[in-house]
């Protein structure tokens, strides 16, 4: 009986690991019934290496779920060394073409499928309207209906390519200004407001057939005043399962996040509480390996053995996870099998079409200084390169480069700035970074052009020109450089 419970418990767990090959402990757990793994940028060196890693995993468990967080835009794992060639969600919403959004999802899906990956923890479905949100341009945004329709289109494109989608973070994290990695946030909206602005995307995703959704570590006061969604039987069982009628996989957001740990006190308690509430698959987090996996599985087995967690709940979770694995089986990874040139081109066109310029932005004929305010937008994005430097060099532009990384305590030093020079300040989500905003306000230049690669809305009264890209992917960087180097460019998003 205990061995059966252990296999059921293992079938609900997705841990991470270090290294570019699967460690022995992970392969042993996979043989015993572990559901699968989550890959991060640290596990990735090259397409060939990732494909070999996935084959190593599937050699011991052919139906393993191999998950990754590949949103495009600012959040990428397979392109973490250079930045994503696909624009992010806000760019796609600003561009306004659902077919383009579907194509981007399809292109990302094809590239993942070629690596053998069958589960993508994307797209973001949260509706964000505040520049202080940690989600910013990861959200489709723009309007509640646009947010819902573009999320559905992205899901359909990804799943057309044979990769299971995961719309996150149910029932909507966009109304909280706290990062769930660090704290438990609250959404104070009324039920009517919450349904019209936030919940509608997840209802639409269910209609579109998304294979899974991910829970939010947030308290939505109009739904449950006490527990975050990950631990709420009301928000999961009563609303998602009964009212909305969704029967796909529900995966937790990373259980190492303080948004849930501050509520439960420990990772094993969070895991048991999430399963009890109706979660089917447990994402342990980026830094939770063998020891955490063992502790979580032991806690699930103990809870099921004592009656604190219904065994039927484990069977239900296993049924859903196995159904998703059958619907989206991992194929032997062969990098480059799919030709995604068309989808990448559509994404590049969307990035260019969404880009907006204000004032005079051309740098032609000027000495150029580039000042990048290198603030990290979110923990989820991780250390992915961004900015315009590589694309400017590729365009043959000579410039002096200054990168300001936090903490920023003094004025930027711009030596030898001639009266005819132009200073290009590259920023994103400046309102979220007061220290950078203060330094930016003291920036002096003969002519200042701002490249804003973050959430829209910030004004720059001292700038001669502003370029707004609505994201910081490589596709958006190319669009920004095109705007800077094409004299007289008149872009309308």
- pLDDT of the chain along its 493 residues, tens only? 567 999 999 999 999 999 999 999 999 999 999 999 999 999 999 999 999 999 999 999 999 999 999 999 999 999 998 999 999 999 999 999 999 999 999 999 999 999 999 999 999 999 998 888 888 899 998 899 999 999 999 999 999 999 999 999 999 988 877 767 777 788 888 999 999 999 999 999 999 999 999 999 999 999 999 999 999 999 999 999 999 999 999 999 999 887 787 777 899 999 999 999 999 999 998 888 999 999 999 999 999 999 999 999 999 999 999 999 999 998 887 888 999 999 999 999 999 999 999 999 999 888 999 999 998 766 677 778 899 999 999 999 999 999 988 777 667 777 788 999 999 999 999 998 988 999 899 888 999 999 999 998 899 999 999 999 999 999 999 999 999 998 444 433 3
How far is Cα 156 from Cα 210, in angstroms, rounded to an integer? Answer: 8
Is the CB of residue 89 less than 8 Å from the CB of residue 127?
no
pLDDT at 409: 65
Burial 340-376 (b: 16+ CB within 10 A, else e): beebbebbbbbbbbbbbbbeebbbeebbbbbbbbbbb
In the set 253, 375, 421, 429, the catalytic residue is 253
- pLDDT for 132 equals 86
Please say if 181 is a catalytic residue.
yes
The backbone torsions φ and ψ at residue 211, rounded to the nearest 5 degrees and listed phi first, read -70, -30
What CA–CA distance (Å, rounded) separates 213 from 278? 12
Question: In terms of Cα–Cα distance, which of 354, 419, 375 is closest to 101?
Answer: 354
* Cα distance between residue 175 and residue 198, in whole Å: 8
Measured CA to CA, the distance from residue 201 to residue 171 in angstroms comes to 9
Known catalytic membership, residue 126: no
pLDDT score, position 382: 72
Half-sphere exposure of residue 469, counting CA atoms within 13 Å on the CB side? 35
Tokens found for residue 371: 């000042």
Cα(140)–Cα(100) distance, integer angstroms: 13
Q: Return the closest-CA partner of residue 13 out of 64, 59, 55.
A: 64
Give SS3 for 51.
helix
**Per-residue pLDDT, 365:** 84
Whole-prediction pTM value?
0.94
Determine the angle formed by the axes of helices 144-160 and 200-208, rounding to 10 degrees: 30
Q: What is the greatest pairwise CA distance in the chain?
A: 80
Catalytic residue among 181, 198, 369, 433: 181
Which residues are CB-contacts of 443 (< 8 A; sequence separation ≥ 6)? 371, 411, 412, 423, 425
């Amino acid at each position: 009986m205990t061995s059966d419970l252990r296999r059921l418990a293992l079938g609900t767990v997705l841990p991470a690991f270090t290294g570019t090959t699967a460690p022995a402990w992970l392969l042993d757990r996979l043989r015993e019934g572990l559901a699968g793994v989550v890959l991060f940028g640290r596990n990735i060196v090259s397409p060939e290496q990732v494909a070999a890693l996935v084959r190593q995993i599937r050699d011991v468990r052919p139906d393993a779920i191999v998950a990754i967080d590949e949103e495009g835009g600012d959040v990428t794992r397979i392109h973490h060394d250079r930045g994503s060639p696909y624009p992010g969600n806000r760019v796609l919403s600003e561009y306004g073409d659902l077919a383009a959004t579907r194509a981007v999802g399809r292109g990302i899906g094809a590239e993942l499928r070629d690596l053998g990956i069958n589960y993508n923890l994307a797209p973001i479905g949260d509706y964000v309207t505040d520049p202080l949100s940690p989600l910013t341009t990861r959200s489709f945004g723009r309007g509640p209906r646009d947010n819902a329709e573009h999320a559905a289109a992205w899901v359909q494109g990804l799943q057309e390519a044979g990769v299971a989608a995961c719309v996150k973070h149910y029932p909507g994290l966009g109304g909280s200004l706290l990062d769930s990695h660090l704290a438990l946030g609250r959404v104070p909206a009324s039920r009517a407001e919450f349904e019209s602005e936030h919940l509608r995307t997840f209802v639409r995703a269910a209609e579109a057939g998304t294979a899974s959704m991910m829970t939010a570590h947030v308290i939505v006061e109009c739904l449950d005043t006490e527990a975050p969604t990950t631990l709420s039987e009301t928000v999961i069982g009563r609303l998602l399962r009964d009212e909305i009628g969704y029967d796909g996989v529900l995966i937790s957001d990373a259980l190492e996040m303080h948004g849930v740990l501050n509520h439960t006190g420990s990772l094993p308690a969070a895991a048991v509480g999430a399963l009890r509430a109706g979660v089917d698959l447990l994402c342990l987090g980026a830094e939770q390996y063998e020891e955490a996996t063992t502790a979580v599985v032991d806690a699930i087995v103990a809870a099921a053995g004592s009656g604190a967690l219904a065994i039927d709940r484990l069977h239900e979770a296993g049924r859903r996870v196995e159904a998703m694995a059958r619907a989206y089986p991992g194929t032997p990874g062969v990098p480059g099998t799919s030709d995604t040139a068309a989808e990448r081109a559509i994404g590049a066109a969307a990035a260019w079409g969404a880009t907006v310029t204000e004032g005079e932005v051309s740098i032609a004929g000027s000495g150029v200084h580039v000042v990048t305010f290198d603030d990290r937008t979110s923990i989820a994005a991780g250390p992915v390169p961004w900015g315009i430097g590589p694309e400017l060099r590729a365009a043959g532009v000579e410039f002096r480069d200054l990168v300001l990384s936090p903490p920023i305590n003094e004025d930027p030093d711009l030596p030898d700035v001639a009266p005819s020079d132009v200073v290009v300040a590259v920023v994103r989500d400046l309102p979220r970074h007061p220290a950078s905003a203060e330094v930016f306000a003291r920036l002096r230049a003969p002519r200042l052009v701002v490249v804003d690669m973050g959430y829209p809305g910030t004004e720059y009264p001292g700038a001669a020109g502003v370029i707004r890209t609505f994201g910081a992917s490589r596709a958006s960087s190319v669009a920004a450089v095109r705007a800077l180097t094409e004299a007289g460019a008149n872009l309308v998003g």
